[in-house]
Amino acid sequence: MFENKLIKDIHCSRYVASYVRSGGSLSSREAWRFKGWLKSLVINGENLSDDEVRYIYNYGTNGKLELEENAERFLASSTIK
């Protein structure tokens, strides 16, 4: 179970949403880029630790299979304007 815990006073979901909303991808092919961005952050004068980077990455990339399959079907068939 993943908790949206605070890391350096910022919720994990904020790291993930900020990266994705800025055009980043959480696909397995792009994992290195997301992790690299996390490692480059300096918050309150500190970098994220390897454990913090790992936790945020796992938080952002471990969906629920049933929900992912449903989202894929929705996106493939959606014609929302």
25-80 pLDDT tens trace: 998 899 999 999 999 999 999 999 999 999 999 999 998 889 889 988 988 987 66
- For 41, the domain range is 6-77
**Is the residue at 1 inside a domain?**
no
**Is the residue at 12 inside a domain?**
yes
| pTM exceeds 0.95 | no
The pLDDT confidence band at residue 13, using thresholds 50, 70 and 90, is: very high
Q: Which has more pLDDT, 1 or 53?
A: 53
φ and ψ at 63, to 5 degrees? -80, -175
- Whole-number Å distance between alpha carbons of 20 and 18: 6
Please give the pLDDT value at position 2: 80
Are the CB atoms for 21 and 11 separated by under 8 Å? no
